[in-house]
Structure 1
Amino acid sequence: MSSKQNDYTTNTVSMLTYWTRRYVLVLLGSLLLLAVAAGIWIRISTYDHIYDMLELRAEQLVDLNGQAPEESEFSNRLRQMEERPHEPKHLFPEADIKKDDSSNRLETEAGPHEPRPPIPDVVHTVDTAGNIKIIKKYENEAIDTSALFAVPPSYQNVLAGENVRDQVNVASQTWLRIGVPVYQDGTICKALYISMPVDNQIRGPYGLLALLTGIITLAGWLVLYFLSRRLIHPLREVAAAAQSIAEGKYDPVLPQEVKERELQQLIESFRYMAAQLKQLEQLRSVLLAGVSHELRTPITSIRGMIQAVHNKIVTGAKAEEFLQISWNEAKRLQQMVEELLDFSSFEAGAAPIKGEPVNLSSLISEVIHQLSVLPEFSNIRFDAALPAEPVWLNGDAGRLRQMFLNLFDNSKKAAATLLRITFQIHDHRIMVDIEDNGKGIEATDQPFIFERFYRGSARQAIGRGLGLGLTISRLLAHAHGGDLVLLRTSPAGTTFRLSLTRSLK
């Protein structure tokens, strides 16, 4: 593989790598957004659940008969709860928690052998005078939890009969705290606060979320990686084939079996394009040789005959004949040069088309009369079914005449003895069929008859000029808002159809 092919392939692979990276970044960004949203949801749900659990424990510690227990009784109840068997070590109980309609307090429906919520870590009370009584301290003495025992800002709200939830930061940890009122003889006498650190409880779900995000990201990257590899291999071959065609090699090696339907369509289209380019390149080489021959022949003939007359090699009537042949060859050469100029002008869009009223029926009649008096058309009979009334269109009479002369001249070169012209008029469209009884167009030549410089097979190309007649005729038809097509052909004859736009005079 050449350096150009390596560069082209490298650029293609780099482009695929570029987009693969972008896809991975988009995937990672989307997963991060989902992870953040899930993390927020987990945080809110976990906090709510812990608050519900703390509120349940606080209600269990409060005297259910309306009698306010002393701090020693709180301690005894805590000790009884800690001594219960089957106490869970995890955060979320399997028991259902619900509100009791009669007491408006939380209770559990768990059976005697089912797990219960874990014991709170810190419990203290604050009476109406602001005196703080610590019921249970945090077991880890290395952490200073004194901030938990300050009089909370929500103290008055609890004494007013509200259950208060708040957060406290202690030693770089977040603690959740619930405050509930304690009643004595129907009157609130103190506030009970229960606190629990939440960081250890939420770290597990966060770790699981991070693990799942990492696994999904890795799986997505692997999928993209293997898919890109499957795409890169055939695209490398297509890129190498494109570079091969650019260097003039029209038989590239392309992948044979590709499972991806889109890639298979691309490869098939590329293979068809390569075959067409190869055929057109071969055609171009043949046509270039033919055009060179057609231009060189009259020049050589003119030069030789004029030199013979100039050097007195021929004299008299023979010299006159040589000069006449040279004159005819010069006219043929002029016609070929004019065809080249016309073709270049039309392809560049620089050929002006006059927009003037033209009676198409009258124009065709004039062309037929002009050709009928020429010796080369003496063996051709014209059968023109022209409308009696004028058929008007806006166009260039000279260019339309040139188009019909080209079509009639092609029929003459095909050894036709009959030329039939018929009209069809449909609303604003005019269709003119030019039918001859010539030898027709070979099947191998039919797809290329409107190609520039195409003159048919080598045997038929002799005397066919530059192969621009039909090309220029179709360009002229397009310039007049119409088209020229090969309607049908066979060994019994050929029919061309010219369609134009009709207009009112």
Structure 2
Amino acid sequence: MFSKTTKPSGRSVSLLRYWTTRYVLVLLGSLFVIGVIAIYWVRSNAYEQSFELMELRAFQLADLCAQVLNGPGSLEKLKHLKEIRTNRSVIQLMDHQGHLSILSNGKYEEIASTLPDHTRLFTEILHGQSTREVIPVDGQTWLRVGVPIPEEIPHGSGLFLSVPATDVLPKFEQLYGPIASLIGSVALAGWLVIYFLSRKLTSPLRQVAEAAQMIAEGGYDPDLPKEVKERELQQLITSFRDMAERLKQLEQMRTELLAGVSHELRTPITSIRGMIQAVLGKVVTDEEADEFLQISLEEAKRLQKMVEDLLSFSSFEAGAIPLQKNPVELAALVEEVIQQLRVLSQFADVRIERDLPENAVWIQGDAGLLRQILINLLNNSRAASPPDTTIRVTLRERDGQIELDVQDEGRGIPPEEQPFIFERFYRGKNGQKQNRGLGLGLTISRMLAQAHGGDLVLVQTSPAGTTFRIILPVFPHRKQHKASP
């Protein structure tokens, strides 16, 4: 009944896991980059602030040196000043000849002699500029700034202040923990947010996937959410529900079709077999035998017609419609079909009225196939109408196209059946009881109309009657031709 379903590959993952995993990876990568940038910015900002404080301190010391050295005294006086003695740094004075004097006391006095040479920067100081350096000293990082002394003095023209980085910079290692904790907290919060959002978003999708699996297994009543806030998901669910309902109806139609076609084909075969056996067995003779043979012939013709309909439908559905287009005058074709049907017994009590234009109406098409469409519509109208009825055929040209209406006084088509009247093998409830056919007439007629570049549509239906319309394109060179024979 159903084709074998293919199970998902073992490598496939759920949509929730797929997106949350990728989001977390992207989030962690982004936070890592942000963390690196943040650490770099913090370090750069810390260095900048430390250099600014050191420059401020160096300018203060330079002013102090200028005051002391301009008066009576010597460098020894500077070394004993409180500002110099208690300063946790290396202070160096350099005169205009490049001679260096060390003012530092305490634990940094021995280190002062190991500081890298700074004579290359002295030119900048002589021009009134300050300098900044990051220098290595005995495996440690030091910061050094140089500033000019305000006034020219015999013992110095510039002052250098050097400080270990550990004394002025924060311990960056202590910042890594809080930054890592912050990144982890943001990552966790982001993952929770995207997890619950993705779960909410994928929940209706999972239900749709389960519903699709149910339909694949033959169930057509899936449990789908009634409403979701997301418009696209609501459209998906609504469309899927409509599709499931339509599949359910089509499956029901298919089941009924198999039973109906089997019955329709078996009935004439059984009838023919029984009647022929009766004739061969001499159960009936003479005129009664002839009547049995005549009935068998009619049943054989009906059986042949059903087989031809099946073959035609299969051919048309494959796109192999044998269309031979020629100029056709449609009004003349309508008259011909009406005259052809009037002589049939089933149309003996039917009045066929026609409303045809005075001027010729030309189309480019296959006269035989167009005749088949019209005959099928008229036969359907007759089958749906009561005795002593009227069928009206109207032909008009409007809005650049030709419209051919067939209107009857039949019982109409129930609203629940109207969406399916052009479906293959659909006969409706009344058709199943009264019509002896396969339900391919309207399907084939519509295919033929569409093959001519037109269509066959239901215009209106009610308990008072039904109107079908054949729509065909106008033949642009119709005035150059005469009616087809």
How far is the alpha carbon of 1:374 from its aligned partner?
A: 1.6
User: Which residue in 2 is equivalent to 1:450?
Assistant: 422
Which has the higher mean CA deviation after the structures are superposed, 210-219 or 124-133?
A: 124-133
The superposition leaves residues 319-364 of structure 1 with CA deviations (integer Å, 9 ceiling, x where unpaired) of 3222222222222122212221222222222324333322222222
Is the CA contact 1:67–1:183 (under 8 Å) kept in the aligned structure 2?
A: no
Is the CA contact 1:123–1:192 (under 8 Å) kept in the aligned structure 2?
A: yes
- Against the structure 1 CA distance between its residues 210 and 445, is the aligned structure 2 distance closer, same or farther, given a 3 Å change threshold? same
Which has the higher mean CA deviation after the structures are superposed, 185-194 or 4-13?
A: 4-13
User: Which residue in 1 is equivalent to 2:439?
Assistant: 467
Amino acid at match of 2:263: H
Alpha-carbon distance in 2 for matches of 1:370, 1:10 = 67
Is the CA contact 2:220–2:248 (under 8 Å) kept in the aligned structure 1?
A: yes
Is the CA contact 1:122–1:138 (under 8 Å) kept in the aligned structure 2?
A: no
- What SS is found at the alignment partner of 1:125? strand
Q: Does 1:164 align with 2:157?
A: no
Alpha-carbon distance in 1 for matches of 2:255, 2:342 = 37
User: Which residue in 2 is equivalent to 1:98?
Assistant: none
The superposition leaves residues 142-169 of structure 1 with CA deviations (integer Å, 9 ceiling, x where unpaired) of x978663433542333234321223224
How far is the alpha carbon of 1:5 from its aligned partner?
A: 11
- What SS is found at the alignment partner of 1:249? coil
User: Which residue in 2 is equivalent to 1:93?
Assistant: none
The superposition leaves residues 385-410 of structure 1 with CA deviations (integer Å, 9 ceiling, x where unpaired) of 11222222222222222111111111
Which has the higher mean CA deviation after the structures are superposed, 246-255 or 264-273?
A: 264-273
Alpha-carbon distance in 1 for matches of 2:111, 2:64 = 33
Is the CA contact 1:484–1:496 (under 8 Å) kept in the aligned structure 2?
A: yes
Amino acid at match of 2:391: L
How far is the alpha carbon of 1:11 from its aligned partner?
A: 8.0
- Against the structure 1 CA distance between its residues 149 and 459, is the aligned structure 2 distance closer, same or farther, given a 3 Å change threshold? closer
- What SS is found at the alignment partner of 1:382? strand
Which has the higher mean CA deviation after the structures are superposed, 323-332 or 32-41?
A: 32-41
The superposition leaves residues 50-101 of structure 1 with CA deviations (integer Å, 9 ceiling, x where unpaired) of 322222121111127955746556555663796xxxxxxxxxxxxxxxxxxx
Is the CA contact 1:181–1:188 (under 8 Å) kept in the aligned structure 2?
A: no
Q: 5 Å matches for 1:68-83?
A: 69=69, 71-72=75-76, 75=79, 79=83
How far is the alpha carbon of 1:23 from its aligned partner?
A: 1.7
Q: 5 Å matches for 1:50-449?
A: 50-63=50-63, 67=67, 69=69, 71-72=75-76, 75=79, 79=83, 121-136=89-104, 148-151=115-118, 153-170=120-137, 174-185=141-152, 189-198=156-165, 200-201=169-170, 203=172, 208-255=178-225, 262-415=232-385, 417-449=389-421
TM-score (norm 2): 0.83
Alpha-carbon distance in 1 for matches of 2:5, 2:317 = 33
Alpha-carbon distance in 2 for matches of 1:73, 1:340 = 122
Q: Does 1:502 align with 2:474?
A: yes
Gaps in structure 2 of 5+ consecutive residues: 478-485
Amino acid at match of 1:432: L
- Against the structure 1 CA distance between its residues 433 and 160, is the aligned structure 2 distance closer, same or farther, given a 3 Å change threshold? same
User: Which residue in 2 is equivalent to 1:45?
Assistant: 45
CA RMSD of aligned residues (A): 3.5
- What SS is found at the alignment partner of 2:415? coil
Is the CA contact 2:79–2:85 (under 8 Å) kept in the aligned structure 1?
A: no
- Against the structure 1 CA distance between its residues 324 and 123, is the aligned structure 2 distance closer, same or farther, given a 3 Å change threshold? farther
The superposition leaves residues 219-245 of structure 1 with CA deviations (integer Å, 9 ceiling, x where unpaired) of 101112223333455544433332122
- What SS is found at the alignment partner of 1:439? coil
How far is the alpha carbon of 1:441 from its aligned partner?
A: 1.3
Alpha-carbon distance in 2 for matches of 1:481, 1:216 = 63
Alpha-carbon distance in 2 for matches of 1:313, 1:453 = 38
How far is the alpha carbon of 1:472 from its aligned partner?
A: 1.4
The superposition leaves residues 379-436 of structure 1 with CA deviations (integer Å, 9 ceiling, x where unpaired) of 2211111122222222222222211111111101102521112233234222222111
How far is the alpha carbon of 1:454 from its aligned partner?
A: 0.8
Is the CA contact 1:428–1:503 (under 8 Å) kept in the aligned structure 2?
A: no
- Against the structure 1 CA distance between its residues 480 and 146, is the aligned structure 2 distance closer, same or farther, given a 3 Å change threshold? farther
Gaps in structure 1 of 5+ consecutive residues: 83-118
Which has the higher mean CA deviation after the structures are superposed, 167-176 or 415-424?
A: 167-176
Amino acid at match of 1:148: L
How far is the alpha carbon of 1:21 from its aligned partner?
A: 1.0
Which has the higher mean CA deviation after the structures are superposed, 208-217 or 334-343?
A: 208-217
Alpha-carbon distance in 2 for matches of 1:63, 1:75 = 15
Amino acid at match of 1:348: A
User: Which residue in 1 is equivalent to 2:483?
Assistant: none
User: Which residue in 2 is equivalent to 1:111?
Assistant: none
Alpha-carbon distance in 1 for matches of 2:361, 2:309 = 28
TM-score (norm 1): 0.80
- Against the structure 1 CA distance between its residues 311 and 400, is the aligned structure 2 distance closer, same or farther, given a 3 Å change threshold? same
How far is the alpha carbon of 1:293 from its aligned partner?
A: 0.9
Is the CA contact 2:79–2:105 (under 8 Å) kept in the aligned structure 1?
A: no
How far is the alpha carbon of 1:437 from its aligned partner?
A: 0.9
User: Which residue in 1 is equivalent to 2:480?
Assistant: none
- Against the structure 1 CA distance between its residues 343 and 375, is the aligned structure 2 distance closer, same or farther, given a 3 Å change threshold? same
Which has the higher mean CA deviation after the structures are superposed, 173-182 or 471-480?
A: 173-182
- What SS is found at the alignment partner of 1:63? helix
Is the CA contact 2:401–2:471 (under 8 Å) kept in the aligned structure 1?
A: yes
- Against the structure 1 CA distance between its residues 393 and 458, is the aligned structure 2 distance closer, same or farther, given a 3 Å change threshold? closer
The superposition leaves residues 188-225 of structure 1 with CA deviations (integer Å, 9 ceiling, x where unpaired) of 94432223455743726665544433322121011122
User: Which residue in 2 is equivalent to 1:483?
Assistant: 455
Which has the higher mean CA deviation after the structures are superposed, 68-77 or 406-415?
A: 68-77
